[in-house]
Structure 1
Amino acid sequence: MSYVITIAGGGSGHTPGILLTALRYRKEFLINEIRLYDTDEVRNEDMRIIMDFLLKREHEDVKLVATSDPKDAFTGCDFIFSQIRVGGMEMRELDEKIPLKYGLVGQETCGLGGFAYGMRTMKGFTEMVGFIQQYPPDAWILNYTNPETIVSETVRRQFPNIKIINACDMTIGIEMLLERSFGYDRKNLVATYYGLNHFGWYHDIYDVTKGRDVMPEILEKIKQQGFNTEGTEPSWAHTWNIMADMQRVFPDNLMNNYLQYYLFPDKIVESANPTYTRANEIMDGRNKTIKENVAKIQENRDLDTIDYKSVAHGQYIVEMAMSIIHNQNKRFMLIVPNMGAIPNLRPDAVVEIPCYVNAKGVEPISLRFDIPDFQKGLMEAQVAAEKLLVDAFFENSYQKALEAFTLNQTVPNATVAKNVLDDFIAANGDYWVNLK
């Protein structure tokens, strides 16, 4: 059987990696049509040109469509791979720079920048899910769209029966870092992880070749050696170095690197350039490369320098699709309602935990242990702040938004929370719901 997939946010620089990963599994996941859906028609057309080039280079006979029309994008498709970025890099730049103006963490998914992005994404994502429910109601949405926990909570409330799996590839990134740094093979690791999206910890990491939990030795290696950042782009090398420092301060569990924004916001702000953030790096790097590659293809020159590869981002989402199609019951770290999986955390929290994926969808794994008070306290404050933000979206409530901003753990007081909130309201305009 062959499948039609729609990549929502088709203009993203991650799209070629998804394609090339899917082509690696063409026998198990035969695709006859790929649709690129994006509201930014220029970026979508640029990516169509690149994708067409890659398909021809790989000698693949796959129909390719680029569209901004949701009916054309979704009607009759089997899977939607969602990676939309409402507002694009231009709004991400403001997400990062407005908090920094007040001495707060400026980041795309964490802190108040993440909340601003969340408010935009809730509006754009629910509109898209409404289209999907109308045109291909039986299609699976495999969602990478951030901020994942906020998106998941929003969809759960408005579309409780939609077929969606919310996933993040950051745990793969961490496990690949362990491979590169210490020689472990990720395929031989069975990890137990818990938390919220971009806000979690490993409880244990079982190596099937050794027959034991190797997390204690991993933690000791991090303490003694740090991570291998050779060949890593500077911003990520900096991230991994901070993560190693975090592990030395909190040595009991391997943690998600994004916790740096909540545990050490002072260091993050101190090292940040408020006039040139990660968004600027991407605009001057990945996005510029897309334009350059389009020009090379159109001018038929230097084609051998166009270098796209299958990467972890694509691997995770393609493997989920195959686990559904072939009822493989593979294990992934996914974002799901808690419902007792973490026994001592509120049941209505949206958590990231190990799950099995099969033809029925997602089956979460119950952890059967209580998480420590330190981690529980951090998580419950974050859950409450995120739920208040989703309340603000559905209720058009300025008060709930202010409470969410004030409770965010990167914020020292309500005065600065209100100042940042008011700046974001002015900057986002119609991207946000009208808060009253």
Structure 2
Amino acid sequence: MKKSQVNITIAGGGATHTPGIVQALFESRDKLPIHELRLYDIDQQKNDDMFVIIQEMMKQLKVKDITLSQTTNPKAAFSNVDFVFSQIRVGDLEMREKDEKIPLKYGLVGQETCGVGGFSYGLRSIKGLLEIVKFVQDYSPDAWILNYTNPESLIAEAVRRKYPNAKILNACDMTISIEETIARNYGYERKNWVAQYYGLNHFGWYTSIFDKSLGRDVMPEIIQKLKKEPMKVASFNAKDPSWQDAWNMLTKNLQLFPDYLPNNYLEYYLFPDIVVNNSNPNYTRANQVMDGRLKETKELAAQIRSNHFDDIHFDFGEHGNYIVDMAASIFNDSHERFMLIVPNVGAIPNLRADSVVEIPAYVGCTGAEPISMRHPINNFHKGLMEAQDAAEKLLVDAYFEHSYQKALQAFTLNQTVPSADKAKKVLDELIVVNKDYWPELNK
């Protein structure tokens, strides 16, 4: 990509994670010379609020050479752009609340990306992300889409089927959030790490973490520390006490299965009964976000408009840096290493080729170059992944075929669901509340 100036659109510009991405863009102009930044969102008020916040960030950081705009018009958003960062949430937090609370009524995990709540969100997100991909194909077909929209595995599979030639990278920041939290807890520097990891999105394991500055694999010592005592929440998640529960469950996982360092989201699949018992069916994670990040964002925008506000806090963690570093690696053809969600095609040799897996990959101007595992994975992980991967494929089938039967099979096979009867009851209730978002499922 040979250009002196880069135009970037953030799809889902009104999201609360936007300031972290924008800060990373401002700090990375030496390797990604951004000229124009556009915020695109179908929610005008959220986009307005974020536009005000980003304007104020530009003042505080003395950024004067970037053109900032906001729009709800797809043509204005996606014409003449080089990168689209997608972080859309179809149905907003109101639908996330339903994804979480309806399963809990039936004693099932209520979570936005895992379990049947994740499948509910997935059927909404597929439609929304495919629309974004079409906009980019229509208005800037050479642009790269860097996708943060969840649930990543489902979206990656759907885009692969509908737009096999789209220039898109699907990435999740959870692995680097885990790594950054570990590094801050135990005094490592994450940027010195070369991590080996495999799995599905939110469903994987580290096999090693080589520290270049120390010249050794530090994962065994990290596991020993985590087995003895859970790590503490890092500063970028300090306002969110639920993360401490996640790190507590990570330690429980390691005490039972100490050979590999797991993604913390595996708690929903390996300990669904504990998760349900510890969940408040009347106040879920969606409510926490509404009363936390969402409320704070609205209040900050109002304070800026009235000129009564404190300085903006600039520790957003690695979320923004990750997606910006990816864009810079494409722009400069620098082949940096990232965890990406990609078609397997032999990278994990004893897993089906058309699985959508999360593994390390190098990124350059032609996109992702996945790194092969070279060795078969163990039967425990393979069995878990194959069942969940099959469930996800069935759900994508259900989306494209408008098949109630495929959706029911997907819900039944989901690794958090113990009963086809419960799967049907939850599916039927979710169909009703998602009538404006899901495709019609024909029986």
TM bracket, shorter-chain basis: over 0.9
Could you tell me the TM-score, scaled by structure 1's length? 0.98
Question: Match for residue 110 of structure 1?
Answer: 114
Question: Secondary structure of the residue that 1:434 maps to in structure 2?
Answer: coil
What does 1:266-285 align with in structure 2 at a 5 Å threshold?
Answer: 266-285=273-292
Question: Match for residue 417 of structure 1?
Answer: 423
- Asked if the contact 1:21/1:310 (under 8 Å) is kept, the reply is no
- Asked if the contact 2:205/2:262 (under 8 Å) is kept, the reply is yes
Question: Match for residue 355 of structure 1?
Answer: 361
User: Identity over the aligned pairs, expressed in percent?
Assistant: 59
2:105 corresponds to 1:96: no
Question: Secondary structure of the residue that 1:80 maps to in structure 2?
Answer: strand
Query: Structure 1's 65 and 120: CA in aligned 2 closer, same or farther, altered over 3 A?
Result: same
Please state how far the C-alpha of 1:295 moved relative to its aligned partner: 1.2
For 1:60-101, what per-residue CA distance to the aligned partner results, in whole angstroms no more than 9, with x for missing partners? 222111111110000000100000000000000000000001
Please state how far the C-alpha of 1:210 moved relative to its aligned partner: 2.5
Please state how far the C-alpha of 1:212 moved relative to its aligned partner: 2.1
Please state how far the C-alpha of 1:310 moved relative to its aligned partner: 4.3
What does 1:209-358 align with in structure 2 at a 5 Å threshold?
Answer: 209-229=213-233, 232=238, 233-304=240-311, 306-358=312-364
Q: Distance in 1 between matches of 2:373 and 2:215?
A: 20
Q: Distance in 2 between matches of 1:98 and 1:112?
A: 9
Please state how far the C-alpha of 1:225 moved relative to its aligned partner: 3.0
Q: Distance in 2 between matches of 1:302 and 1:9?
A: 25
Aligned partner of 2:16: which letter? Answer: G
Question: Secondary structure of the residue that 1:7 maps to in structure 2?
Answer: strand
For 1:341-386, what per-residue CA distance to the aligned partner results, in whole angstroms no more than 9, with x for missing partners? 0000000000000000011111000110110000000000000000
Aligned partner of 2:51: which letter? Answer: R
Question: Match for residue 200 of structure 2?
Answer: 196
Please state how far the C-alpha of 1:255 moved relative to its aligned partner: 0.4
What does 1:40-55 align with in structure 2 at a 5 Å threshold?
Answer: 40-55=43-58
Aligned partner of 1:286: which letter? Answer: R
Aligned partner of 1:387: which letter? Answer: K
Please state how far the C-alpha of 1:125 moved relative to its aligned partner: 1.0
For 1:275-319, what per-residue CA distance to the aligned partner results, in whole angstroms no more than 9, with x for missing partners? 000100110111111111111111111243x32444311010000
Question: Match for residue 384 of structure 2?
Answer: 378
Q: Distance in 1 between matches of 2:196 and 2:32?
A: 28
Q: Distance in 2 between matches of 1:370 and 1:212?
A: 23
- Asked if the contact 1:16/1:309 (under 8 Å) is kept, the reply is no
Question: Match for residue 6 of structure 2?
Answer: 3
Structure 1: state its 5+ residue gaps.
Answer: none
Q: Distance in 2 between matches of 1:314 and 1:246?
A: 28
Aligned partner of 1:352: which letter? Answer: E
Please state how far the C-alpha of 1:152 moved relative to its aligned partner: 0.2
Aligned partner of 1:8: which letter? Answer: A
Question: Secondary structure of the residue that 2:262 maps to in structure 1?
Answer: coil
Question: Match for residue 148 of structure 1?
Answer: 152
Q: Distance in 1 between matches of 2:179 and 2:298?
A: 32
- Asked if the contact 1:140/1:164 (under 8 Å) is kept, the reply is yes
2:24 corresponds to 1:17: no
Structure 2: state its 5+ residue gaps.
Answer: none
What does 1:378-397 align with in structure 2 at a 5 Å threshold?
Answer: 378-397=384-403
Structure 1 runs of 4+ with >6 Å offset: none
Q: Distance in 2 between matches of 1:228 and 1:404?
A: 36
Query: Structure 1's 137 and 177: CA in aligned 2 closer, same or farther, altered over 3 A?
Result: same
Q: Distance in 1 between matches of 2:135 and 2:369?
A: 26
Question: Match for residue 37 of structure 2?
Answer: 34
